[in-house]
Amino acid sequence: MRFLFLFFFVFNLNAQQSYIDYLSPYHPTVSNKGMVVTQNNLSSDVGIEILNKGGNAIDAAVAVGFSLAVTLPRAGNLGGGGFMLVYLKEKEEIFYIDYRSKSPLNASIDNIFDLNGKNISPIDFSDDIYDKTRYGYKAPAIPGTVAGLLEAHEKFGSLPLEEVLAPAIRQANEGILVSYDLEKAIDDTHQLKKDPESLRIYFKNGSAIKENSIFKRPDLEKTFKLIASNGKDGFYKGDIAKAMVKAMNLNNGLFSLKDFESYSAEISEPIVGSYRGNLVFTAGPPSGGGITLLTALNILSFFDLKKFNSDSAVTYHLISEALRRGHNNRSHFVGDPDYFDVPVNQLLSKERTIELAKTIDIKKASKSTVVKPLELIKESRDTTHYSIIDKMGNAVSNTYTLGYSFGSGVTIPDTGILMNNQMNNFAYRYGDKKERGRGASTGNRFEAGKSPMSTMAPTMVFNEKGELILITGSPGGSLIPAAILRVITGVIDFDLDIGQATMLPRVHKDWPTTGILYERTLNSDVVRIINKRIGHKMTSEHTMGSTQSIHINNQTNYGFADLRRPNASVSVQTN
């Protein structure tokens, strides 16, 4: 009898320990209902509010996109642009919406850089001249966010637009509680202080708005209401467009009403690759991030990562070499497909992949010179991404940006709209034979009316049965593919939960630059092995990206908001 008691005691103890002995400190949020993962908790809650009203994932995504303009003004926006993937469960269809910003139609090298007819090549420009595309009224491209979000709503939404925008209108009216991060981000952004309207909004008596104060946005409330009542025309053909053009004209900017009247978001198919039997869908051109990601996954398919640990030196070496070759693919022939015939099939072909994979030595770092371009710009990290799934299984992966943190620093008076600085993303050094990097890209050369290349890459992964298993994406400029790649390999190659996969240390290796950037959480012994034995120059980095992800496993949603940036959160339906 005593033996039986001890047996059951030990059995129950072990059963209990199997639950409470947690495998990882990074716990996903679990739900079989709707889920929203964004970089701001208040906006995540807005998405759930819309789902609870009977809206679908697309309605929630639109609501979140507008809400983030209030809660995360450094990246959430109406004055920028981005890319979105939409998955409709019932129809088993996936769509790609390109709402990237576009260069003004009357823009030229001469008027962008105020050359006044001087015969000066961009090759000879100094950094201070390039500042015209970074800050102030010459930096913004025509914003596409409103067109993209409303195109998604018009084609795939279910609730009236007024109902979808009501939470963002309420947030703008009532205000939000300023977080520590928001105060510090504003205080650290010099271009905001140079614009009178931005200075008025984000600073009080010369100091950034204070933590725990209430930040109301009556200007954005007015703009939101105009859009709610008039749709896209309220932004691109009405008072808002006129206000933007007026502000541009007063400040030597380049916008015209024709730019707004002619702007449209484009709906097409995403690009797709296969990885370990799973289909990976992501953004196509003008995204170069999607090309980079799929190239890297194609290359890694030739190596059995499961033979190594997720944090081994060989794993990081192979990921770095694959990323370098992905960045090589995007550095030459990726641009706006309306202006340049991007050879997507060739870049992602089996022949090209084999050519690149053969240049990788599993024991030794390669030189940039062995990675040849296919025969035929400093980027900002201050973007934001969110992932959403509804109870029916419809899903959205959306990444949008202002460029730099708080973009150009310019806020259009009376609208609250903070403008992007995406004119900085063109290749102005086209034709410079001394330039090996993306600054001389054939595909991304500057042209009027054109969208600049971006590294944004909203992503969805489907298993061999055609079931959606992963929704992810990240901010981070050129580091975006590295962040997404690490999450995908963590889930697929190493069978990690989404929390563990998200918090794996990340590495980035570009082309043609030398060395690996690595997060400081990477094991120091691994860093030493990669440096001394394999031969990579190692440079520490603070953090890379901020993936907001949902992993779907056995019809259960596991959400995880990356801990690399504050205030990100997962919100779920409870009713």
Among 122, 184, 219, CA closest to 406? 184
**3-class secondary-structure state, position 384:** strand
Does some domain include residue 23?
Answer: no
Q: What span, in angstroms and rounded, lies between the C-alpha atoms of 402 and 489?
A: 29
Helices (H), 374-529: 480-492, 498-503, 524-529
My answer on whether 274 and 365 are in the same domain is: yes
Q: Which amino acid is at 439?
A: G
Cα-based distances in Å from 355 to 89, 309, 409? 37, 26, 44
**Would strands 203-204 and 176-177 be described as parallel, antiparallel, or unpaired?**
unpaired
Q: Which residues pair with 356 in a beta bridge?
A: none
Length of the chain, please?
575
Q: What residues contact residue 238 under an 8 Å CB cut-off, 6+ apart?
A: 226, 230
My answer on whether 425 and 349 are in the same domain is: no
My answer on whether 175 and 46 are in the same domain is: yes
My answer on whether 374 and 417 are in the same domain is: no
My answer on whether 47 and 140 are in the same domain is: yes
Among 530, 469, 534, CA closest to 498? 469
Which is catalytic among the residues 223, 295, 353, 383?
Answer: 383
Q: What span, in angstroms and rounded, lies between the C-alpha atoms of 383 and 458?
A: 12
Rounded to a whole number, what is the distance in angstroms from the first to the last CA of the chain?
48
Place of tokens 């900017």: 253
- Concerning whether 353 is annotated as a catalytic residue, the answer is no
3-state helix, strand, coil in the chain (%, to 5): 40, 20, 40
My answer on whether 349 and 237 are in the same domain is: no
Q: What residues contact residue 394 under an 8 Å CB cut-off, 6+ apart?
A: 56, 57, 58, 86, 87, 88, 89, 90
**Number of domains the chain is built from:** 2
Cα-based distances in Å from 105 to 111, 141, 233, 255, 486? 12, 10, 19, 8, 39
My answer on whether 157 and 41 are in the same domain is: yes
Q: What span, in angstroms and rounded, lies between the C-alpha atoms of 328 and 293?
A: 11
My answer on whether 251 and 325 are in the same domain is: no
pLDDT in tens, the chain (575 residues): 444 444 444 445 445 556 677 778 999 999 999 999 999 999 999 999 999 999 999 999 999 999 999 999 999 999 999 999 999 999 999 999 999 999 999 999 889 988 877 766 665 666 677 788 899 999 999 999 999 999 999 999 999 999 999 999 999 999 999 999 999 999 999 999 999 999 999 999 999 999 999 999 999 999 999 999 999 999 999 999 999 999 999 999 999 999 999 999 999 999 999 999 999 999 999 999 999 999 999 999 999 999 999 999 999 999 999 999 999 888 888 999 999 999 999 999 999 999 999 999 999 988 766 665 655 454 556 799 999 999 999 999 999 999 999 999 999 999 999 999 999 999 887 766 666 566 667 788 899 999 999 999 999 999 999 999 999 999 998 999 999 999 999 999 999 999 999 999 999 998 777 789 999 999 999 999 999 999 999 999 889 999 999 999 999 999 999 999 999 999 999 87
Does some domain include residue 105?
Answer: yes
Q: What span, in angstroms and rounded, lies between the C-alpha atoms of 468 and 89?
A: 9
Does some domain include residue 29?
Answer: no
Tokens of residue 23, six digits: 């495998």
pTM for this entry: 0.93
Does some domain include residue 3?
Answer: no
Residue range of the domain that includes 547 = 268-380+454-572
Own/partner long-range contacts of 464-468 (Cβ < 8 Å, ≥24 apart):
464/277, 464/278, 466/92, 467/552, 468/87, 468/89, 468/389, 468/393, 468/395, 468/552
